[in-house]
Amino acid sequence: MGLRVSQTLSPLVPEIVALLGGIVSAIIIVLPLNTFLGFLARETVFIAPIIEEPAKAVGVIFLALSYPYVIASKARGLILGGLAGLGFAFTENLFYATVPGTDIVARALLPVPMHVMASGIVGLGLVYLAQDRIETREAASKIGVSTFKSKDMGSLLVVAMIIHVQYNFLSYFGYAGSLFGLVIAGFVYYRLGKMLPDNLLFFTVPGPVRLLGSTVPFPLKKKVDVSAPRIVSLTLGSLQQRRVYCINCGQPIPNGTRICDRCGASQR
């Protein structure tokens, strides 16, 4: 008998889980590892993002696997991922507040939004994991094979790591460098949020390089066509086309519904 995946959680519970996941990851995963790797000095500019970005999202990963309907849209991925980054950044700042010479104000204004945006991009990738869980459970009796593309989630994770790495690198040039790195992260975050479709089910991520290239005003390569649908099983496609999810809580709602019966959020 397969594991039964629950579909709903009480309001704000997913947000709390995502936030706590970021806090817990900072305490038991990231800070000990960063301390252990501290002997590498400046090399941590590259190593820290590789450790931190997947670790921060531990709560969101749990939601995607166990309660996938709460993170089934682009908006929910950005919100839950961002909360994970906020919880992590808050806890990390508490740790650095104990280090003599740390500029607490600068750390509150610069790394915090960077962590929120990077984790939001990771959250976008975890929408694919959630959709895979939904598809697998709904189509198990007919297909029994997951259509989850690991490269979709992986590409967005790599993008988050890249904007984290560039911020860490530029931070070595002082406040001006940190601010410039934050602007770059914000630009990529904004462009991805505007460019990607609300329903990621039928969008295949073209890899981190092309995805990043498509965010700049004059890319070297052809822009990503977000209107081109992913080719999937007709059975899975028809199953998902009958499913519409609340942009706030992720609850399945009838197509065309303007107000979610569960949380009352407007769908317009």
Q: How does pLDDT run along the chain (268 residues), one tens digit per residue? A: 344 444 567 788 999 999 999 999 999 887 777 667 665 556 678 888 998 999 999 999 999 999 988 998 899 999 999 999 999 999 988 888 777 777 878 878 899 999 999 999 999 999 999 888 887 765 554 444 344 567 889 999 999 999 999 999 998 898 999 999 999 999 999 999 988 888 887 788 888 888 888 887 654 445 555 554 454 333 333 334 445 667 676 677 776 677 777 777 777 6
In this prediction, residue 239 carries a pLDDT of: 38
**Burial 161-182, CB ≥16 within 10 A → b, else e:** bbbbbbbbebbeeeeeebbebb
CA–CA separation, 246 vs 252, rounded Å? 6
CB 266 within 8 A of CB 259: yes
Confirm if 73 and 245 have CB atoms less than 8 A apart.
yes
Exposure string for 24-51, b = 16+ CB within 10 A, e = fewer: bbbeebbbebbeeeeeeeeebbeebbeb
Residue ranges covered by each domain of the chain: 13-253
pLDDT of residue 40: 58
**In whole angstroms, what is the distance from residue 20 CA to residue 183 CA?**
27
